[in-house]
Amino acid sequence: MNHHTSPRFLILVLGAVAGMGLAIVIGRPLLAIVAAPAMFVAVLAAALYRAPDIQVSLDGPARAVEGDRVDLVITAQSATRVPWLQVGIELPNDLDPVSGIRHAVVSIPAGRKAVVRFPVELTRWGVARPGRVETVARGPFGLFVRARVHHPRLAIRVHPRDGNRRSVVVPHRLRARVGDHRSRRHGEGSDFAEVRPFRTGDTMRSVNWRVSARRGERWVTVRHPDQSGDLVFLLDTFRDLGPEGNRLVQRAVRAAMSLAESNLDAHDRVGLLDVGRHIRWHRPRQGRLQKARLFDSLLESQVEQGLRAPRLEQLPIHELDAGTMVVVLTGLTDPDMALLPIELRTHGLEVAVLEVTADDHFVEDPDEATELAIRLWEVIRQRRRRQLISHGVPVTPWPADQPLELPVAAMARRRPAS
């Protein structure tokens, strides 16, 4: 808090004192008469001024979608009258003021509130946190100033706009729970499998009367049961690469959000394992509450580089049920993280790697040294891919110019019988 007199007050008082002093020195009473009103205004302003205690709050939506325009609402309240109050807000790069205005001037009646709205555009997904709010209150005639910095806590969780809900990862092993995935086994379900002769144990409900009438004996319709599975998305946030706004980790987070939402809608149990310098773990669960947990965690994902990637024994692998499928979203940029799927596979888990490729992040016209570095990086990446595949871990590349459905469909084609 900063409470001081304005330069106007000092100029006014010094001018009045100088005028009166000069009137005494040179014997000109007229100068004292001219200086008296200035002194009167200064004394009156000091008598009327009451330092305001301004309370400020900042409100906004808790959730929004990337590209939306929302209002940041600043409410200022004071028990005493504030005739002139300047309000300013500090905005991060992911909050763009629509009109370019970050300051406003209002007045607050005694015991009332003043509301200021700043329309902003949410330019990036993630957690947007507006900065500090600054208020500058001026007293009567603008001769006294009280500046204060407020630190309101507001976090807007901004969801990506281009989520693709059609992409669903089909778990390798399906559970005997009702879901949206068609099992390759036969049983009660909605998808047609075949028509065969009636056997002992078949129910009358499964009899296909049209075929039975045509063939003169009872035949039944066999269907595929609709089941669900358990999935864990392992997000590699240990290293990153690429331009701002389209980095590997950002693309991986978008994919994880889209796939987690799709699989939860398909009645799967979905979990999240964010592996960076620190480990964040959410056990596989179902429902909208789990979707909110995963989204909040993914929106706060950031690169936290450390000396070495976590070891397998540091991960909560023991909490995973048998048959849980682990989908690793990684750019294969860190050597230790590139070997982690192999360790998970040797631990008996079903593992698939969705590689977020970085080919589009290289310069268009590289010089000789840069071109050699790019070729070396490609050799290293190819070696890591072959190493994963040789240990039974399928790797599906996902280029930046390709929709997410294509690599997810390629992962489904590698699905074993269940």
Q: What is the pLDDT of residues 94-147, one digit of tens each?
A: 888 988 888 888 888 888 889 999 999 998 888 888 989 998 887 666 666 778
- pLDDT surpasses 90 at 264: no
The answer to the question of residue 169 being in a domain is no
The answer, yes or no, to whether residue 358 has pLDDT greater than 60, is yes
Q: Which residue's entry shows tokens 């002992």?
A: 200
pLDDT at 340 exceeding the cut of 70: yes
- Stretch 326-353: mean pLDDT: 88
* Pair (139, 210) in one structural domain: no
pLDDT at 418: 44
Instruction: Kindly state the percentage of the chain with pLDDT values over 70.
Output: 73
C-beta of residue 315 within 8 angstroms of C-beta of residue 275:
yes
Tell me, what's the pLDDT at 58?
92
Do residues 198 and 306 share a domain?
Answer: no
Residues 242 and 98 in one domain: no
201 belongs to a structural domain: yes
176 pLDDT band, cuts 50/70/90, is: very low
Domains contained in the chain, number: 4
Note the pTM of the prediction, 2 decimals: 0.66
Enumerate residues 6+ apart whose C-beta is below 8 A from 256: 233, 235, 272, 298, 329
CATH code, 96: 2.60.40.10
Q: What is the pLDDT of residue 368?
A: 80
What distance in Å separates the CA atoms of residue 91 and residue 113, rounded to the nearest whole number? 23
Range(s) of the domain holding residue 367: 228-413
Q: Are residues 265 and 293 in the same domain?
A: yes
Q: What is the pLDDT of residue 210?
A: 84
Structure tokens at 110: 């005694």
Segment 392-403 mean pLDDT: 88
Same domain, yes or no, for 388 and 357? yes
**What is the band of 232 on the pLDDT scale with cuts at 50, 70, 90?**
very high
Is the domain of 303 the same as that of 373? yes
Please, what is the average pLDDT of the chain?
Answer: 79
State whether 153 and 292 are in the same domain.
Answer: no
Same domain, yes or no: 204 and 292: no
Q: Three-state DSSP class for 182?
A: strand
pLDDT digits (tens, 9 = 90+) for 71-94: 999 999 888 888 888 899 999 888
Assigned domain for 181 exists: no
Are residues 246 and 216 both part of a single domain?
Answer: no
Q: What is the CA radius of gyration of the chain?
A: 34
Same domain, 99 and 149: yes
Judgement on whether residues 62 and 41 belong to the same structural domain of the protein: no
| 308 assigned to some structural domain | yes
Q: Are residues 126 and 265 in the same domain?
A: no
182 in a structural domain: no
CB 173 within 8 A of CB 350: yes
Domain presence at residue 200: yes
Average pLDDT over residues 52-68: 87
By percentage, how much of the chain surpasses pLDDT 90? 15
